[in-house]
Homo-oligomer: A and B are copies of this chain.
Amino acid sequence: MTKPFVPRYDNGGLVVAGARPHRWPAMGLARPAGTALLVVGAQRSIASQCAGASYVWETISALVAAMRPWGAKIAWARHARSPANASCPVLPPAHGPERGPAARRPGDLVALAYGVDGFSASPLAEGLRASGTVHLVIAGFGLEGPVHSTLRTASDRGWECLLVADACAPFQPDLAPGALGMVEMSGGLFGVTATAQGLLSALAAGAAHRGEQAV
């Protein structure tokens, strides 16, 4: 599709009209000061178990490169096993020493979680609250695992979520359609999905409208 989304924009505000099953945000606009890009499972030990991880890292980098200058908060969730579920197979047993993703910058929010859910035993909720985030763009590794659990909790706690479908790498490619379908077919139960291109186009259109150089 050459033009899958019809972005609307206003004075720095963002709307992704082609999100499924409905536009995002559902009403009004996402403002930079109230929006965060949250990258879930942002660590080698998880990404290395995912299909298409290299491509997804590139896509996430493009999202970060566009959303950071727009003014969104950039947040990274890392996971270790919950102490209460020590046999959890896909998560590392502890938060090890780590070289951050290339796209990470000082001042980004980094939340260490204990569990599949990025909100589990982590300061993620408090960090997002402190930054004034109400609109949450979600990407990351383990689409049907950490990404989905984090999306579900974010939605229950009141963040209005946009899952960027092709900026998420699944553990099992067979499970990706179902993971996306649960979002798209449920009428907005856990937020909505869009493509990275749809989000980037909406951002670029807003920038052009404002007379800025498109990011």
Residues of A within 8 A of B (CB): 26, 82-90, 109, 112, 114-117, 120-127, 129-130, 144-145, 148-149, 152-153, 155-158, 171-172, 174-175, 177-179, 181-182, 185-190
Contacts and interface: CB of A to CB of B under 8 A. Distances in A.
A193 to B, nearest CB: 14
A148 B88 CA distance: 17
A21 to B, nearest CB: 10
Contact of A126 (B84, B127, B175, B185): B84
Chain B CB within 10 A, most for which of A26, A124, A172, A178: A178
Given A89-B189, A116-B156, A189-B88, A123 B82 contact: yes
Given A83-B126, A123-B121, A127-B83, A172 B185 contact: yes
Chain B CB within 10 A, most for which of A88, A124, A182: A182
Contact of A178 (B127, B129, B158, B178): B178
A82 B179 contact: no
A185 B179 CA distance: 13
A190 B115 CA distance: 10
Contacts of A26: 87
Contacts of A87: 26, 188
Given A179-B178, A181-B178, A85 B158 contact: yes
A153 B90 CA distance: 16
B126 A186 contact: no
A179 B88 CA distance: 18
Contacts of A114: 123, 126
A121 B125 contact: yes
B185 A182 contact: no
A87 B85 CA distance: 29
Given A117-B152, A129-B157, A175-B181, 11 more contacts: A83-B158, A84-B158, A90-B186, A90-B187, A115-B156, A116-B190, A120-B157, A148-B152, A149-B153, A175-B185, A178-B181
Chain B CB within 10 A, most for which of A127, A152, A175: A152
